[in-house]
Amino acid sequence: MSKKINQHYVPQFYFRLFSRDGRHVHSYMPKPGRLIHNAAIKGQCAKYDFYGDGTIEGPLSEIENEHAIALRSLIEIAWSETFPPLTPEIVRTTWQAVALQQSRTELAAELHSQSAEAMATEAFTRHLMTAPGINNRERLVSAMKTGEAKVTFSRSIAAFQNVVFALENWLLISDLDFILLRNNTDYPFVFCDSPVVFANSYYRNVTQRGVLGLQTPGLQIFFPLDSDTMIMFFDAAVYRRPTNSCIVDLIHESDVSQLNALQLHNHTRSIYFAHDDCGSYLQDLWSVHKKAVQKPRSNFVRRDGWLLDGAPTNGLVQIFQPHPNIRLDLTFIQCDPIDEGQYRARRRSPSLVTEAEARAKRRMANRDD
């Protein structure tokens, strides 16, 4: 079988959910301010040899077929007058689809490689500083600290590892509650080249550590399904909503614009949309948010002097992705954010972490056999 060269990191079936003819979609590139109408779907969010291994295409295509069925079912459920049943299989597949899409993008590969390079550079610098028999020690250490020399990590390897991680760890978001958002305003939902957006309004005042992990309390996940439908996952232990229904009707344009702004804050190059007249709306939305938009990144911070079990640390480093630089004020869900000083490291569902670790060990054992 010939190797497939044009590897997509946002699948074509997902673009078709926002397409009028199944083959084209409109796009907006905020940085140059360029609108492109009727762009061919097959050329969007794809790169040559993105995953570094053509053999991944076959398994991914099979998984995407399952995800396409689940997402279309969610749209049908959201808008059906008869409320078809939401089966466990649809829910399970949706968890997997969300975790995979969040992890498989160009942005996710970049963040992974940034983290890996920063950690490896730190470790190698410490090795140079302490290992015996190093010639030109001071020169080498200086080169590492100034960036003259550094450790690099392949983006294609990062992308491949992200896919494997998502498929092995999607269970970690299965404790989150969810609602289907029906857009009843004149503003359509849009999506970017990293359409699954993580946020955390509960921890929005916690800025000195990572709060967007799969098992972090207060996690929120937003995923547009088409121009009129979005699924939102959230930690029911800390968020309040006015109804117990899994269907919420959005009637305030401010809610929709905030959700669309999340896509602006998470994009790498492009925003995509279905409606011909949405371009001017996106341009206006970008003009409001462009000064605040910060490209998602991995922060590498040294934490010397932090207390760990009551003792100050020396040589501790931390890598985390900061919040999107937007404070959500949605009418349909609320929480009471805590202050930085109230933060305590914990997981939402430790039992899920234990189960995921056990499953990973079993898979590794089966591979060794």
Q: Quick one: pLDDT band at residue 1, thresholds 50, 70, 90?
A: very low
Instruction: Find the mean pLDDT for residues 16-33.
Output: 95
Sign of the torsion formed by the C-alpha atoms of 40, 101, 221 and 155? negative
pLDDT recorded at residue 309: 67
Query: To which residue do tokens 């699954």 refer?
Result: 196
**Per-residue pLDDT at 269:** 95
**Confidence at residue 56, expressed as pLDDT on a 0 to 100 scale:** 84
Region of poorest pLDDT, from 259-268, 338-347, 360-369:
360-369
pTM for this model (two decimals): 0.92
Q: What is the pLDDT of residue 250?
A: 97
Give the per-residue pLDDT at 3: 52
Q: Is 8 left (phi over 0), alpha (psi -120 to 50) or beta?
A: beta
| pLDDT tens per residue across span 67-101 | 999 999 999 999 998 877 789 999 999 999 999 99
What local confidence, expressed as pLDDT, does residue 194 receive?
Answer: 98
| Residue 72 pLDDT | 97
Q: How far apart are the first and last CA of the chain?
A: 27
User: pLDDT of 124-173, one tens digit each?
Assistant: 988 998 899 888 899 999 998 888 988 898 999 999 999 999 999 999 99
Sorted by where each begins, the domain ranges of the chain are 86-269+295-368
pLDDT score of 10 more than 90: yes
Q: CA-CA-CA-CA torsion for 241, 245, 248, 249, nearest 10 degrees?
A: -120
Q: Where are the alpha helices (DSSP H) in the chain?
A: 12-16, 57-79, 88-103, 106-130, 137-146, 155-169, 253-266, 278-289, 350-368
Question: What ranges in 170-295 are assigned the alpha helix state H?
Answer: 253-266, 278-289
Does 2 score more than 60 pLDDT? Answer: no
pLDDT at 28 over 90: yes
pLDDT tens string 191-247: 999 999 999 999 999 998 899 999 999 999 999 999 999 999 999 999 999 888 899
* pLDDT-based confidence at residue 367 (cuts at 50, 70, 90): low
Query: What is the structure's pLDDT at 349?
Result: 95
pLDDT the model gives residue 284: 97
**What is the reported pLDDT for 178?**
95
